[in-house]
Amino acid sequence: MSTTTSLAPPTGLVGPDGYRHRWMVLVVVMVADVMDLLDATIANLAGPSIRHDIGGSETTLQWVLAAYTLTFAVGLITSARAGDLFGRRPLFLIGMIGFTAASLLCGLAPGAGLLIAARVAQGFFGAVMIPQGLAMVKSSFTEADLQKAFIPFGPVMGLSAVLGPILAGFLLHADLFGSGWRSIFWINVPVGVVASYLAIRYLPKNLHTHLERDRNARLDPVGTALLTAASVTLIYPLVQGREQGWPGWMFALIGLSVVLWAAFAISERRATHPVIERSLLSNKAFLGGLVFLGTFFTAMTGFMLTINLFLQYGLHFGPMHTGLTLAPWAFGMAVGAAASGAALGPKFGRRVLHGGLLVLAAGLVVVWLTIGAQGMGTTGWDLAPGFFVTGVGSGAIFAPLFDIILAGLGDNEIGSGSGVLNAVQQFCGALGVAVLGSAFFQLLPGHGFADSIRDLVLIAIGCYAVSFAAVFLLPRAARSDTEVVH
């Protein structure tokens, strides 16, 4: 921490070692990240059980996922600036308590409409919570200890990815107290209550240093409103269009979305306090990174939804069986992330992304061949090799991806760039659920489950080919001093 600042010393700082409860801050922030990661993924596996219990159309499953990720994405872009204005600690507490309450409401929802509304609330409060946590971690540790503080993030997130499908499958199979799918949301409640108590007690109250607070920051209400409207008018028709027979007003909404995106771009160029740092919009390497993220997460998230539908609706696997079938994929992600983060990423830079995409594509080809050979007699053991290889490729990309994209940015662009990347990741996850989910249901009547999922494999590989080309625009090596992003 700088000793020359004119601000009062941050509450709780002891000598040169940083905030005295800094490790508890790290624990609370990691719990928040795990809660968000699990809620963004385990609902995927629970989709068929949710629809069986509370009804709804095929698009109900897509909305249960898209409502969360879309709201999370839109909120991320502005929530970091809100933290600059109002302080990280109060916003983190609002996000954590709100997220916990929204999880309770998800489990209590009597119908599809209220469940989707509660998922919107979850996404909103998650977006408020997540950016504040990492900023407080950075402010609580000295520069010398910051690298050590971020070491646990990779293994914990990887372990969460491994255990997420298994945990969801266990809870659905166990049907604790007759709760069924509701338990996957209720499990957040005791965790959130404990985390909220720890946050209230241990999070720093006055870390208003240059690392945390920018007194010149302002929210741009016009840009925020345009961004939200453009996102909703694009996602809504993509999710609902097929079911409603693509009436003319759906295409009008998509056209309106294009106009709103253009208006947002114009607004950003003219705004005094833009939502996105202006210089980012002319940075070719950063724009290449957005293309990579967009195509990569559109394919991955959408395909994960459709493979769940194939396993549960097509092969009639139960939730526990489905979770165990997906475990090799998650385990492969943990292995790939560990290898890439510890050795491959620092040594080979952006070439790791090319290598990861090739491994990922090879795994999908194995899945395509397996389902082609076994058809509707495919077992979890048949899919395990392809899933594991696919996971290794995905994990190898995750570890160095954000640092490589951010490597070409200046220090004044890192904060805004990190928020934009996270938002694009989440938004394209929602887009993938909408586009690939709709494509799957469109193909299903004429092709059947096996051929439909094989067609989706080819579509996903096509998206990854675009990601492969975008890598050439990225910086060759990762940024060594950037903050960790979610």
Of the candidates 67, 72, 66, 62, the one whose C-alpha atom is nearest the C-alpha of residue 33 is: 72
Task: State the Cα–Cα distance between residues 195 and 184, nearest whole angstrom.
Answer: 18
Phi–psi pair at 142, nearest 5 degrees: -75, 160
Q: pLDDT value at position 66?
A: 80
Q: pLDDT value at position 220?
A: 79
Q: pLDDT value at position 275?
A: 74
Q: pLDDT value at position 150?
A: 63
Sign of the C-alpha dihedral, residues 393, 395, 396, 398? positive
Task: State the Cα–Cα distance between residues 300 and 278, nearest whole angstrom.
Answer: 29
Query: pTM score > 0.95 for this model?
Result: no
For residues 398 and 337, the answer to whether their CB atoms sit within 8 Å is: yes
Q: pLDDT value at position 379?
A: 95
Q: pLDDT value at position 152?
A: 66
If the chain, 486 residues long, is cut into consecutive pieces of 10 residues, what is the mean pLDDT of each piece? 34 56 86 81 77 78 82 78 79 94 94 92 91 78 69 63 72 81 90 93 67 58 86 83 82 93 88 78 87 91 88 89 88 84 77 94 97 95 96 86 78 70 79 86 90 95 95 76 44
Report DSSP letters for 247-287, one per residue.
-HHHHHHHHHHHHHHHHHHHHHHH-SS-SS-GGGGG-HHHH
- 275-303: per-residue pLDDT in tens? 777 788 788 888 999 999 889 989 988 89
